[in-house]
Structure 1
Amino acid sequence: MPSKLWLVLSLWLALPTSEAGRQMPKLSDKKLCADSDCSHPILIARALQDYYPGDCRFIPIRQGQLIYVYGMLRDRGNLFWAGIVQDSYYGQQEARIGHFPSSIVEETHPLMPASTIVKTTKWDFYCN
């Protein structure tokens, strides 16, 4: 009996309890970046409205925040971009790259041309 209880407990603990640490569905197969590693920001954008993400692939954004955009997803139009929120005080928010709808921002400063098409990987949509 104790071995069955241990087995049930082990299986229960192994079940995912959140989105963290798992692969999420891909939003696109390609993205447009400034370089092949998507390591340089393309532009700076300002949020026109608050955005509350539906899952861990996306980042929360408050109206007026600046976002450094590193990639633009391509397959299904230009619906989602990937970037990092720049808060008013450095360190106030954990720096995490995530996706957001391009419709909630306005481009404020172009930085580098987005001329490199890069295939997305599972890590582009992995929730950690």
Structure 2
Amino acid sequence: MSGSLCCFLLLCIVLPLSEAGREMPKLSNKKLCADAECSNTILIARALQDYIPGDCRFIPIRQGQLVYVYAMLKDRGNLFWAGSVQDSYYGQQEARVGHFPSSVVEETHAITPATTEVKTTKWDFYCY
């Protein structure tokens, strides 16, 4: 069997078992953002503790890291926020945006008020 065929068969077996490339359950139907695209930073927060995500909708955070918050999920009392962490791990690449519990961070700098309510879509919780 050729090497490329073996790799293809291995991918066919392994990929369906992972979370990547599938829609995950929604955490909320609405979010609060600074703008309609949720592209502007609402606030900067510092991680109070390490957070290890349970699935691919969430981002890992290390105690002391700065987190740039872009959205606050609305339905469950703002339990989850969406944001990014960028440090030397990412190098020149853009940081991955994901969700995290608001309880693991403390606000350090307010940037723009989160006054725009936006409906979430399946893409807000899709695992790539």
Same structural fold, with TM-score higher than 0.5 when normalized by the shorter chain: yes
| Structure with max Cα Rg | 1
Matches within 5 A, 1:7-22: 13=13, 16-22=16-22
1: CA distance between counterparts of 2:91 and 2:14?
A: 33
Q: 1:15 to 1:104 in 2, by over 3 A?
A: closer
**1:33 has 2:33 as partner:** yes
1: CA distance between counterparts of 2:119 and 2:24?
A: 16
Secondary structure of 1:86's partner?
coil
Give the structure 1 partner of residue 46 of structure 2. 46
2: CA distance between counterparts of 1:124 and 1:72?
A: 12
Secondary structure of 2:103's partner?
helix
Give the structure 1 partner of residue 87 of structure 2. 87
Q: Where does the alignment leave 5 or more consecutive residues of structure 1 unmatched?
A: 1-8
2: CA distance between counterparts of 1:69 and 1:45?
A: 7
Paired residue total: 118
- Contact preservation (8 Å) 1:87, 1:93: no
TM-score by length of 2: 0.85
Secondary structure of 1:16's partner?
helix
Secondary structure of 2:17's partner?
coil
Paired-residue identity, %: 81
